[in-house]
């Protein structure tokens, strides 16, 4: 009997969600043209179970879609789907997940295990039989420039000398029956390796994985340093190696039990318009851009394949729950490794990965007092010079007497502890991702600007002391009173 392994097998991941009632089978006929996406957006808004669409208009029999694979769930298991990606219990907290990711970053990498065959090659189509239209590729927003095949998968590319294999997330839009088009920004690992092949005048050997082992999707979303192979990090996350099998048409290795794998190459010079698309920051701009063309020479897939998808937009969705969480873990590790007094980092999902909140350790400040400007400069020097710091434009500093994973605490700190005249520090020369919506055209052209650190620290907290006490349930009543209230809560007539 094969054990269920939701971190390393997407099919097991879906089964686990169904068993937990955190996914629901939808047998009613649903159109991939906007309807599936509309249902999924409503799922995000209501924190409902992930929809598994099993009866899709125009799709080949058995072909399925899964929406909101890492959407938030209900109270007590909010992060359950994210936790399932890395083998944690559905009750795992934000801190549990981030600390697990950080530990894995320092664990010995476990290299993939090469196998002769895998479920992903149950069906193989090459050459003239390649047809991406066989899949129920969804139209996600009515303003989108096309249908997006790749919103919850990752690209696999390797440097020409074979020394670095990158698994990285980037979207891809359907261009024709055998081509996709999508971004490969030069600051991203996909773009770095693509440029190496371009400089040799050669196409980039490429594969795309959909319905990947969930832990590998997490690893692909981590802003790890360049020249680090994500495939070994997958093993460190899951505690076991991920099985890989050689691709049909090139020398890349792909997850053996993935749902779908596309194989081919990225053209060294061919581009086509991509977008517009509703973005992770919650806006859509009418500006399709020329992007590289990805040629598909082979498709392999499991029987009854499941294509997972994310409907990007106003948070929370997977850009925030997966990408934002991975950014949090890497940022925390970078800051800790440099000796800064930070005990947690969290990209508030509600802020659309446009800020990261750093929890400042008051005990450490009590031992080693500092000034606000010294702390800000130290944080900026470490974070804004790193790859992970390139991704997030704003940093909020909040003392650890509050919970930085609780947006209510963060809002309260911003409102009551941030001094508008002395608490905002601009870093106009710091490099940053050009997708931030408030950037000017000049900012985007320069690749800099729009970066800031906002201090929500009381002046006394820089010496480790909080002024005043918090007037809330935990602090404003004696232990005996709080215990009696909790013990009698149901008898008062409230839901327990």
Residues identified as active-site: 279
100 cis-preceded (ω within 30 degrees of 0): no
Q: What are the C-alpha distances in Å from 68 to residues 30, 65, 204, 311?
A: 16, 10, 31, 8
The response to whether 238 counts as a known ligand-binding position is no
Please enumerate in sequence order all residues whose Cβ is within 8 A of that of 286, keeping only pairs 6 or more positions apart, or say none.
143, 276
CA proximity to 402, closest of 453, 449, 361: 361
The response to whether 219 counts as a known ligand-binding position is yes
Secondary structure (3-state) at 234 = helix
Alpha-carbon gap, residue 89 to 62, rounded angstroms:
30
Count CB neighbours of 422 within 10 A.
11
Alpha-carbon gap, residue 469 to 484, rounded angstroms:
22
DSSP assignments along 24-55, one per residue: EEE-S-B-TBTHHHHHHHHHHHHTPPEEEE-S
The response to whether 188 counts as a known ligand-binding position is yes
Most distant CA pair in the chain, distance:
75
Tell the burial category of 277 from Cβ atoms under 10 Å away from its Cβ (0-12, 13-18, 19+): buried
The response to whether 484 counts as a known ligand-binding position is no
The response to whether 387 counts as a known ligand-binding position is yes
Buried b (16+ CB within 10 A) or exposed e, 337-363: eeebbbbbbbbbbebbbbbbbbbbbbe
Alpha-carbon gap, residue 431 to 436, rounded angstroms:
12
Alpha-carbon gap, residue 214 to 336, rounded angstroms:
27
The response to whether 220 counts as a known ligand-binding position is yes
DSSP 360: E
DSSP 412: H
276 cis-preceded (ω within 30 degrees of 0): yes
Alpha-carbon gap, residue 219 to 101, rounded angstroms:
9
The response to whether 189 counts as a known ligand-binding position is yes
Q: What angle do CA 356, 144, 37 make, to 5 degrees?
A: 75
The response to whether 230 counts as a known ligand-binding position is yes
Alpha-carbon gap, residue 316 to 321, rounded angstroms:
7
Q: Are strands 243-246 and 204-210 parallel, antiparallel or unpaired?
A: unpaired
Alpha-carbon gap, residue 93 to 294, rounded angstroms:
38
Alpha helices, H only, 303-356: 318, 325-337
Alpha-carbon gap, residue 389 to 331, rounded angstroms:
7
Binding residues for Mn(2+): 189, 230
Binding residues: 167, 171, 188-189, 219-220, 222, 230, 387
Binding residues for prenylated FMN: 171, 188-189, 230, 387
Binding residues for K(+): 167, 219-220, 222, 230
């Amino acid at each position: 009997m094969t054990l269920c392994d939701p971190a390393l097998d997407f099919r097991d991941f879906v089964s686990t969600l169904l068993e937990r009632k955190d996914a629901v089978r939808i047998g009613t006929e649903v159109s991939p043209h906007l309807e599936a996406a509309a249902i999924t957006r409503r799922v995000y808004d209501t924190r409902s179970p992930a929809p598994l669409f099993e009866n899709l208009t125009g799709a080949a029999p058995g072909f399925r879609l899964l929406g909101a694979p890492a959407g938030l769930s209900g109270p007590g298991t909010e992060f359950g789907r994210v936790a399932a990606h890395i083998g944690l219990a559905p009750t795992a907290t934000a801190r549990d997940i981030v600390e697990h990711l950080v530990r894995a970053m320092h664990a010995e990498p476990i290299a993939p295990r090469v196998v002769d065959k895998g479920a992903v090659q149950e069906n193989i189509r090459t050459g003239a039989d390649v047809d991406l239209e066989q899949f129920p590729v969804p139209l996600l927003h009515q303003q989108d420039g096309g249908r997006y095949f790749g919103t919850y998968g990752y690209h696999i590319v390797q440097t020409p000398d074979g020394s670095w294999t990158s698994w990285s997330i980037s979207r891809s839009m359907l261009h024709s029956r055998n081509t996709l088009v999508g971004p490969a920004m030069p600051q991203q690992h996909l773009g770095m390796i693509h440029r190496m092949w371009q400089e040799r005048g050669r196409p980039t050997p490429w594969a795309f994985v959909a319905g990947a082992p969930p832990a590998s999707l997490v690893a692909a979303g981590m802003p790890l340093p360049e020249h680090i192979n994500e495939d070994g990090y997958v093993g460190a996350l899951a505690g076991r190696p991920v099985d890989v099998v050689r691709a049909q048409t090139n020398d890349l290795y792909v997850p053996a039990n993935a749902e779908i794998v596309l194989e081919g190459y990225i053209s060294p010079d061919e581009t086509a318009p991509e977008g517009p698309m509703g973005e992770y920051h919650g806006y859509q701009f009418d500006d399709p851009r020329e992007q590289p063309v990805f040629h598909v020479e082979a498709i392999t897939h499991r029987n009854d394949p499941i294509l997972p998808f994310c409907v990007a937009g106003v948070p929370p969705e997977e850009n925030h729950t997966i990408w934002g969480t991975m950014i949090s873990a890497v940022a925390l590790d970078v800051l800790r490794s440099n000796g800064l007094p930070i005990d947690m980092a969290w990209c508030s999902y509600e802020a659309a990965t446009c800020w990261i909140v750093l929890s400042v350790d008051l005990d450490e400040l009590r031992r080693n007092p500092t000034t606000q400007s010294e702390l800000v400069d130290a944080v900026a020097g470490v974070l804004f010079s790193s790859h992970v710091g390139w991704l997030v434009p704003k940093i909020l500093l909040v003392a650890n007497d509050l919970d930085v994973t609780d947006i209510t605490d963060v809002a309260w700190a911003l409102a009551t502890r941030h001094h508008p005249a002395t608490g905002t520090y601009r870093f106009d020369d710091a490099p940053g991702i050009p997708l931030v919506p408030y950037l000017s055209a000049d900012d985007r052209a320069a690749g800099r600007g729009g970066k800031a650190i906002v201090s929500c620290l009381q002046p006394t907290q820089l010496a480790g002391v909080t002024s005043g006490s918090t007037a809330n349930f935990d602090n404003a009543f004696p232990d005996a009173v709080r215990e009696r209230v909790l013990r009698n809560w149901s008898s008062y007539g409230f839901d327990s």
